[in-house]
Structure 1
Amino acid sequence: MAKAYVVAVYSKIIDPEKLKNYIQDSRCVMGAHGAKALAIGSNISNISKLEGIPPERAVIMEFEDVEVAQKAFQSNQVNEEKLEGGVDRVMFVVEGV
């Protein structure tokens, strides 16, 4: 089975405190599903613009496969709800080749 990659692109951070709490609470959930952080960046540190407007934050996580990535996200719903209204974000899973 191919690895899976969850990509989260934060176009706007509205409530930094909500995001901080979300990150702390989600780390354990993602770790329990074997998530491996491959890249974490913000536009003030290590995101370099190639095209368009750079996001305020971007995260790439690796999972064993798409099914595990989806289960991790479902297990993290409580934290997702707490983050609601705190960020403008797009998050998706991509199957590796």
Structure 2
Amino acid sequence: MAKGYWVSVYPAISDPETLTAYNQLAGPAVRAGGGRVLARGGGRVVAHEAGITERVVLIEFDSFEQAVAAYESEAYKKALAALPDGFRRDFRIVEGID
């Protein structure tokens, strides 16, 4: 079975402190859904073409279905509600290659 991945890129974060409430809820929701954080942060990123060097987050799940279910969970919906107004991110759930 192919794994599932959450891929998030944050085009710009003007005030990282505004993400505190989201992070406090999202971490436990992801772990409860079976997710494992593989990469997080804006430290060492080499962007090519139209790439973005801001914060990138990569989370792995045992299956694509598990990744979708974690996103749709009540716990993660609460985390999403805590994102600040006007906050932007490029978020995708993708299926890995089996």
Number of residues of Structure 1 aligned to a counterpart in Structure 2: 95
Aligned partner of 1:46 among 34, 44, 47: 44
Secondary structure in structure 2 of the residue aligned to 1:12: coil
Task: Report what 1:56 is aligned to.
Answer: 54
Q: CA deviation at 1:81?
A: 1.3
TM-score of the pair, normalised by structure 1? 0.86
Task: Report what 2:17 is aligned to.
Answer: 17
Secondary structure in structure 2 of the residue aligned to 1:70: helix
Cα distance in 1 between the residues matched to 2:83 and 2:51: 23
CA gap 1:90/1:29 in 2 versus in 1, 3 angstroms? same
Q: Cα deviations across residues 36-90 of structure 1 (Å, max 9, x unaligned)?
A: 1111121xx2111222252421100000111111111112011101104252101
TM-score of the pair, normalised by structure 2? 0.85
Quick check: 2:47–2:53 contact (8 Å CA) kept in 1?
no
Pairing 1:3–2:34 present:
no
CA gap 1:53/1:95 in 2 versus in 1, 3 angstroms? closer
| Structure 1 runs, 4 residues or longer, greater than 6 Å off | none
Secondary structure in structure 2 of the residue aligned to 1:2: coil
* Uncovered stretches (5+) of structure 1, i.e. residues with no partner: none
Identity %: 37
